[in-house]
Amino acid sequence: MGRLIDTDSAYTVLTDYYHHKADAQHMALKDALDKVETVNAIPVDWIESYLSDCAEWSIAYYVIKQMLYKWREEREGE
């Protein structure tokens, strides 16, 4: 699986990187980004925020916390 990115952020970075000034360049970049495959994903920040609202006694709390730990561990060194 490739990296999941925020297309709004990618648009901003690529516009700055390639010094896009013309409307045609902006439209072409937006069109290209619209063609990129999308996936259903839950941002890690949202999960962590949700966990902080959960009761720590819940088994789901520990399962999700372990899931995040394993996900981070697998990505070390990427």
34 lies in the same domain as 50:
no
Quote the DSSP letter at residue 66.
Answer: H
pLDDT of 54 reads 77
Same domain? For 48 and 71 the reply is: yes
- What single letter denotes the amino acid at residue 15? T
* 48/28 same-domain check: no
pLDDT at residue 34, rounded to an integer: 95
What local confidence, expressed as pLDDT, does residue 1 receive? 58
CA–CA gap between residue 34 and residue 28 (Å, rounded): 10
Residues 2 and 32 in one domain: yes
Tokens of 24: 């045609």
Per-residue model confidence (pLDDT) at position 60: 83
How many domains does one find in the chain?
Answer: 2
User: How far apart are the C-alpha atoms of 32 and 4, rounded to whole Å?
Assistant: 16
pLDDT of 17-73, one tens digit each?
999 999 999 999 999 999 999 888 888 888 888 888 776 677 888 888 899 999 889
Domain, as residue range, for 69 = 44-75
d(CA 47, CA 21): 37
